[in-house]
Structure 1
């Protein structure tokens, strides 16, 4: 493996600053000016390569987010909570970073690396399914509890003299179902 880039050897805070400035839409010259103010010495070429990589990763993340949004619009997102979607996006972003060279170009994987990558994707997919299954169980429990409350409410209404038809109409309304 080659030597670390000049930017990769900088302290994490400086790399994060570069990323934040790029995210704000700052140009290379503006970033260079800020680095010079902080007495950080890097070449414009190294910064250019680094920002190219940042832009490539951001582009991959945007495409991934757009694809997820399109799939959600088409198929819905039943069963996947916000946290699971966030975790999947983070994991996908990390996998994308692993697949892009410092020059922003896709890398070539050997068989062992490809196996590791497919294993990581499998684990992320399994985690998403487990989260979806958990959410489905929680929704079923909530529905069961709502049904219990509806039944108790109907029983109470009948005790105070409401007609069976009126009580059943309220039960159906609570449960969101048509007539009994």
Structure 2
């Protein structure tokens, strides 16, 4: 089936989407002079396409729900969510392979060890991405904390100067209220 021209596969998908049976699809293939494809091959193809379609629908529903739920959260959390979703997808793929599934994707991966290597590489990149994201978040927090501390120090120093408060009192206030050590 994978070796059929894209137009033929599209026709099969179009017929299936319109609710045609496997027998009707096979009859249409015969009309198009595709005689080397068996009814069971069409059945396997339709079943595999249905699984892929269901996975895509499930992923879309989950993604839309998560985006609605987390829409106001910072991009770093969204990035972590994307990493988690990718991990889940990759582990689902490996689960299909281990189960001996007749899923088209699992079959392709079994035939192509380089693809498995590429998936492992993708997992490594995801791990690095998660670490980089965490490092970036920490750096942002440190910069924000430093800026806020400087603003607090300036504001307190200005008010202290206006009110005639001593430098020692300002220092004590900053250490006690803000944990700022001078």
**What TM-score comes out, normalization by structure 2 length?**
0.50
Higher helix proportion (structure 1 or 2): 2
- Highest RCO, 1 vs 2 (Cα 8 Å, sep ≥ 6): 1
Question: TM-score of the superposition, structure 1-length normalised?
Answer: 0.50
